[in-house]
């Protein structure tokens, strides 16, 4: 058990009426309660704290504070509350919380941190409410709270029993306890069990759940024409034909963009097609070929201040028996969420109402307030479910567009991107390149030198210099360079590591071959040094990485493949989680295909196992798909792909079976939405190398004349 002070975020536990304002209700969890048809409908609700309310019939409404982008936090975060509240999951109704920085902590979907950051505060919300219920019952019975227990929504004390619904009205008036005790993991009854997605029934039945579904009577649909190339600005336009399109109500210029307002999206898209615009160059119109040349040059440039330098790297390379050097390259990538960007805004003199799919509601609120020069208190944000995010919805540019258009039009509007808009308007994963050098002497790695280079003004480092193999190699150096660009870039699922891991793990596999040692054992030897006698600072736990490597090797039968199978290995630490993967590659008609991926994960306590497996499997498929096919270029600042006929994604028939194995422990949960992606491409590349003899150095792999079977 853990004793915890409730002043952790005490405002969250003030008995404010978090639900009284109505708000946007997305995805009621009625379907998860088999007793719904038998239970009397509630007549009154009592707010225990900002996270939950209890009805007089015993039902519990739990607010899920963080944005839901498919990572299942709308289910798993309320599970944490329900666990400590000691209420049956079948009695729980889940609602999406509104943005409330006073009541909730870190309402962000990004960095795979929702469960990790909410682990104690959400459980504390449930434990606090439970203690208030116990205190109320004890007061009613005239006994000590210490003589009372709570379980399955019932409080017992001696011969007395009360349901939560019967005592909720009194409990809501009780003082918030100064401290509460959290349960020991061995006593969990909800955490660690698989629960259905609370929005499942709404999703499969087509009920309005996502931002793209949102409608408001009287709103207009806004379709936006943006510059066709990065570096261009709007010179003039002719909207005569656009205004003649049935359903188009107005055309508004804002900055270098033009909004077509219409009564429906189809009219808006037709109006945009009819719009004639003249563009001029404002900045340099950039090209992918030029980016490649400049980044390759940066890889050969010595930085004035390395990110890290241990030992004497120069001497290690000078004295080496062998030096292995390889360069790895990756392009820009769009996010391509299933649901294109969209957002609703209603700007009036008294308020700014924002509704839609966004990963960063607080930042979006603040940005809109600054844009419109309005007090932040006048801006509200309600979050809908998102049809994917992968980092694209961190930035909220689409919400700013909606707010600005609504402000100019004096009407509620909903901005909707077409797929072409979504793929060409930014924001992209930055293109990057890495050069790895290793010095080998007497069969050991004696020197290691990594140089990274990437494109983008928002990031200065392209390496993770304190992660593996840091601490395990005596002479170790890491350098990083940035190339500035006017092409907008940002986070893309597992930023930086989504390609760095592929490059690093491919390099270590080739090192193992050059050194005639087992690929898994090479990594274990480095980690053993980092564990027992680390060189310099490390920001990972070698013991945990050793654990997942051994688990993946065991479950994947490393070194003992089935007949006709070639194995590739990869491991990586990111988002506080350790993942190791074994790719099982076969040949079909002379071409490689991945049959299975065995994955081992150490992410601490697994809150919702089925959902966790889905996250890992999705990350693996996403990782190998973009490694195989992901490619995106610019010519004169203009994106060279606009839709899926030009941008290849992995297809269902190409997705391998993904076996997932979790390290069982009672450590606090860590990230899970991203960590399985980084090692996937490396495992595949290494399996292909084993099967075909061809090493892969560029993404997409198909660039190197690899055809997948």
* Dihedral sign, Cα of residue 30, residue 32, residue 37, residue 41: negative
* Inter-axis angle of helices 542-555 and 519-532, nearest 10: 160
Residues of the chain with CATH 3.30.365.10: 2-205, 211-282+341-416, 301-331+429-705
pLDDT at 42: 74
Task: Tell me the DSSP string of 253-280.
Answer: EETTEEEEEESSHHHHHHHHHH-EEEEE
What is the side-by-side strand order in the sheet with 257-262?
A: 248-254, 257-262, 220-225, 413-416, 342-347, 352-356, 379-383
> Token digits for 109?
């979907």
Categorize the per-residue pLDDT at 25 as very low, low, confident or very high, splitting at 50, 70 and 90.
very low
Residues in Cβ contact with 223 at an 8 Å cutoff, skipping those fewer than 6 apart: 259, 260, 262, 265, 268, 269, 271, 272, 415, 416, 418
Is residue 602 classed as helix, strand or coil in its secondary structure?
Answer: strand
Categorize the per-residue pLDDT at 1 as very low, low, confident or very high, splitting at 50, 70 and 90.
low
Q: How far apart, in whole angstroms, are the C-alpha atoms of residue 375 and residue 349?
A: 12
Q: Where are the alpha helices (DSSP H) in 255-346?
A: 265-274, 288-299, 313-318
Residue in the block written with tokens 């592929």: 502
Fold category of 211-282+341-416 in CATH: Aldehyde Oxidoreductase; domain 4 (3.30.365)
Categorize the per-residue pLDDT at 246 as very low, low, confident or very high, splitting at 50, 70 and 90.
very high
Return the percentage of the chain with pLDDT > 70, whole number. Answer: 94
**Does CATH place domain 301-331+429-705 in 3.10.50.40?**
no
Q: Whole-model pTM? A: 0.93
Is the pLDDT assigned to residue 30 strictly greater than 70? no
Q: How far apart, in whole angstroms, are the C-alpha atoms of residue 636 and residue 227?
A: 12
pLDDT at 684: 98
**Does CATH place domain 2-205 in 3.40.50.620?**
no
Is the pLDDT assigned to residue 40 strictly greater than 80? no
Is the pLDDT assigned to residue 549 strictly greater than 80? yes
Greater confidence (109 vs 29) lies with 109
Q: What is the mean pLDDT of residues 25-45?
A: 46
Q: Where are the alpha helices (DSSP H) in 516-644?
A: 519-532, 542-555, 609-629
Is the pLDDT assigned to residue 22 strictly greater than 90? no
Of residues 511, 541, 516, 532, the one with CA closest to residue 450: 511
Of residues 160, 159, 103, 165, the one with CA closest to residue 133: 165
Q: What is the mean pLDDT of residues 692-706?
A: 93
Is the pLDDT assigned to residue 39 strictly greater than 90? no
The terminus-to-terminus CA distance of the chain in angstroms comes to 53
């Amino acid at each position: 058990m853990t004793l915890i002070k409730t002043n952790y975020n005490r405002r969250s536990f003030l008995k404010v009426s978090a639900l009284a304002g109505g708000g946007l209700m997305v995805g009621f969890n009625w379907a998860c309660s088999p007793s719904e048809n038998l239970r009397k409908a509630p007549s009154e609700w009592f707010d225990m704290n900002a996270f939950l309310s209890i009805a007089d019939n015993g039902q519990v409404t739990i607010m899920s504070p963080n944005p839901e982008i498919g990572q299942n936090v709308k289910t798993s975060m309320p599970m944490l509350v329900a666990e400590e509240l000691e209420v049956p999951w079948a009695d729980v109704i889940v609602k999406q919380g509104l943005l409330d920085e006073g009541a909730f902590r870190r309402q962000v979907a990004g960095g795979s941190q929702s469960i990790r950051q909410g682990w104690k505060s959400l459980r504390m919300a449930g434990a606090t409410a439970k203690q208030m219920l116990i205190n109320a019952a004890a007061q009613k019975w005239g006994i000590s709270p210490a003589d009372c227990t709570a379980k399955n929504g019932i409080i017992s004390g001696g011969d007395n029993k009360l349901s939560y619904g019967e005592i909720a009205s009194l409990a809501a008036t009780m003082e918030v306890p100064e401290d509460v005790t959290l349960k020991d993991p061995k006593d969990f009854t909800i955490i660690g069990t698989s629960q259905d997605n609370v929005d499942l029934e709404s999703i499969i039945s087509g009920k309005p759940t996502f931002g793209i579904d949102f409608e408001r009577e009287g709103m207009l649909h806004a379709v936006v024409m943006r510059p066709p190339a990065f570096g261009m600005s709007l010179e003039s336009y002719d909207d005569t034909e656009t205004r003649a399109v049935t359903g188009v109500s107005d055309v508004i210029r804002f900055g270098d963009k033009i909004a077509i307002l219409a009564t429906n999206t189809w009219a808006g898209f037709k109006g945009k097609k009819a719009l004639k615009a003249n563009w001029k160059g404002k900045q340099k119109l950039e090209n992918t070929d030029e980016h490649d040349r400049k980044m390759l040059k940066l890889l050969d440039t010595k930085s004035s201040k390395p990110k890290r330098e241990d030992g004497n790297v120069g001497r290690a390379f000078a004295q080496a028996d062998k030096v292995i050097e390889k360069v790895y390259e990756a392009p820009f990538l769009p996010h391509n969420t299933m649901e294109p960007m969209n957002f609703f805004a209603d700007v009036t003199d008294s308020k700014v109402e924002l509704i839609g799919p966004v990963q960063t509601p607080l930042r979006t609120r603040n940005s809109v307030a600054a844009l419109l020069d309005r007090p932040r208190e006048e801006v509200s944000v309600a979050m809908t479910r998102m049809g994917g995010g992968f980092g694209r919805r961190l930035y909220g540019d689409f919400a700013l567009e909606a707010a600005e258009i609504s402000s100019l039009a004096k009407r509620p509007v909903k901005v909707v991107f077409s797929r072409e808009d979504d793929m060409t308007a930014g924001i992209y994963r930055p293109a990057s390149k890495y050069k790895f050098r290793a010095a080998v002497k007497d069969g050991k790695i004696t020197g290691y030198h990594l140089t990274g280079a990437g494109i983008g003004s928002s990031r200065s480092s392209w390496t993770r210099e304190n992660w593996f193999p840091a601490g395990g190699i005596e002479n170790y150096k890491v350098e990083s360079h940035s190339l500035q660009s006017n092409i907008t870039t940002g986070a893309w699922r597992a930023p930086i590591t989504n390609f760095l891991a592929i490059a690093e793990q491919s390099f270590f596999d080739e090192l193992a071959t050059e050194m005639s040692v087992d690929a898994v054992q090479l990594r274990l030897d480095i980690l053993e040094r980092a564990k027992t006698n680390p060189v310099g600072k490390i920001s990972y736990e070698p013991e945990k990485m050793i654990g997942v490597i051994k688990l993946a090797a065991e479950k994947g039968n490393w070194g003992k493949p089935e007949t006709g199978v070639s194995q590739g290995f990869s491991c990586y630490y990111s988002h506080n989680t350790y993942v190791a993967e074994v790719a099982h590659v076969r040949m079909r008609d002379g071409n490689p295909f991945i049959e299975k991926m065995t994955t081992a994960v150490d992410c601490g306590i697994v809150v919702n196992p089925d959902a966790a497996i889905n996250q890992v499997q999705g990350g693996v498929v996403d990782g190998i798909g973009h490694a195989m096919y992901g490619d995106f270029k610019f010519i004169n600042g203009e994106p060279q792909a606009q839709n899926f006929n030009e941008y290849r994604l992995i297809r269902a028939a190409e997705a391998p079976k993904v076996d997932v194995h979790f390290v069982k422990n009672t450590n606090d949960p860590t990230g899970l939405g991203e960590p399985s992606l980084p090692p996937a491409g490396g495992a595949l590349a290494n399996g292909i190398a084993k099967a075909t003899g061809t090493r892969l150095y560029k993404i997409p792999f198909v660039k190197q004349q690899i055809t997948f079977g």
